[in-house]
Amino acid sequence: MKLIKATDYKDMSKKAASIFAAQITLKPNCVLGLATGSTPLGTYAQLINWYNDGDLDFSQVKTVNLDEYVGLDGNNNQSYRYFMNDKLFNHVNIDKANTNVPNGKATDKQAECDRYEALIKALGGIDVQLLGIGNNGHIGFNEPNKYFDKGTHEVNLTESTITANARFFATMDEVPKTAISMGVQTIMQAKKIVLIANGPAKADIIYETCFGPITPDVPASALQLHPDVTVIVDEEAYATVAKKLGK
Ligand code: GLP
C-alpha cells in the first residue's frame, strides 16, 4: 500500500485525478471502476476540467460503478446512475453505452449480480478502481461482516444508512432498503486501486485500513493484501496515522 498525504481536499482530488488521467492516456480504451459519495466529487470535477482543456479523451473509455440502490431507476435523482451522469458522464465525451452501473430495477436480483460479474470479466477486468470509504470501513456497500463478501451481491443496508437517506425521499416506503454492490473480491480483482478520504471523521478508519488487522470488521483492510493500492488522504484524514506512527 502506498499512503500519500495531500495538503487538502483539492490536492487529494487532483492527485487522484492524475492517476485516472494517466490511465486514460496510457490505455485510451481502459476500464475505470468508479465510486459515488461526496469524496470523489473533486476528482470528477478535475477530470472534467482537463477534458475541457483538451487534455483528456473519454471516447473509448469504459466504466463500471461499484453499486446501486435496489428499486431506483436511473432517472431518480437519488440513484447512483443519476449521480454519475450528473457529476461526470454528461460533461465529457464518454459513450454512455460504455458506462455501467448495476440495474437497481432488475426483477431477478441474483441474475443481475451474475450479469454484472460476467460483464466485468468480459471487459477484461478493471484497470483502476476508485474507492471512497465509509466511517466504519465499508467500501462499495460492503459493510462490516463476519466474512468478506465475495462477488457482486444484494446487500441489506444498515439502519443508519436507511435513516440517513430518509431525508431525500417523500415517504419511508420509497427509501431503498437494499443495494447491489460489487463484493470485496470483485474490488480486489481490479489491477490497481485508488482509495481517497478526507476530513477528521475518516482519520481513525484510515489508520485501521492501512495498519490495523485484516478483518471483515473493517472491509477496507482487505486492501492490505492487494499488490497495487494507493491511498490518498488529506491532512485531517491522516491525523491518526501521524499520531500513532509518530510522524
Ligand atoms: C456510500 C457509498 C460508498 C462511499 C461511502 C462514503 O456508502 N456506497 O461507495 O464510499 O458512501 O461516502 P462519502 O464519500 O460521502 O463519505
Starting at the edge strand that comes first in sequence, how are the strands of the sheet with 31-34 ordered? 2-5, 229-233, 192-197, 128-131, 31-34, 62-65, 99-100
Annotation marks residue 226 as catalytic? no
pLDDT at 30 over 80: yes
Which region, left, alpha or beta, applies to residue 197 given φ > 0 means left and ψ of -120 to 50 means alpha?
beta
The string of pLDDT tens digits covering residues 38-81 is 999 999 999 999 999 999 999 999 999 999 999 999 999 999 99
pLDDT at 165 over 90: no
Burial 177-187 (b: 16+ CB within 10 A, else e): bbbbbbbbebb
Res 12: pLDDT: 98
pLDDT at 168 over 90: no
Res 152: pLDDT: 98
The string of pLDDT tens digits covering residues 176-219 is 999 999 999 999 999 999 999 999 999 999 999 999 999 999 99
Confidence (pTM): 0.96
Work out the angle between the directed axes of helices 80-87 and 41-52 (0-180°, nearest 10).
Answer: 40
Q: How far is CA 168 from the centre of its chain?
A: 21
The string of pLDDT tens digits covering residues 123-149 is 999 999 999 999 999 999 999 999 998
Res 247: pLDDT: 74
Query: How many residues make up the chain in this entry?
Result: 247
pLDDT at 164 over 90: no
Ligand 1 residue neighbourhood (C-beta within 6 Å): 35-39, 66-67, 132-134, 140-141
Q: Which of 138, 153, 234 to mutate to test the pocket of ligand 1 (most atoms within 8 A of CB)?
A: 138
161 pLDDT band, cuts 50/70/90, is: confident
Structural domain including 203 reads 2-244
DSSP string, 73-96: -TTSTTSHHHHHHHHTGGGS---G
Q: Where residue 199 sits, what CATH number does that domain have?
A: 3.40.50.1360
For residue 141, how far is its CA from the centre of ligand 1 (angstroms)? 8
Annotation marks residue 204 as catalytic? no
For residue 220, how far is its CA from the centre of ligand 1 (angstroms)? 12
pLDDT at 155 over 80: yes
Per-residue pLDDT averaged across 223-243, rounded?
Answer: 96
pLDDT at 33 over 90: yes
**Percentage of the chain exceeding pLDDT 70:** 100
Per-residue pLDDT averaged across 159-164, rounded?
Answer: 86
Res 149: pLDDT: 85
Give the three cell numbers for residue 100. Answer: 455501467
Counted domains in the chain: 1
For residue 39, how far is its CA from the centre of ligand 1 (angstroms)? 7
Mean per-residue pLDDT over the chain, rounded = 96
246 pLDDT band, cuts 50/70/90, is: confident
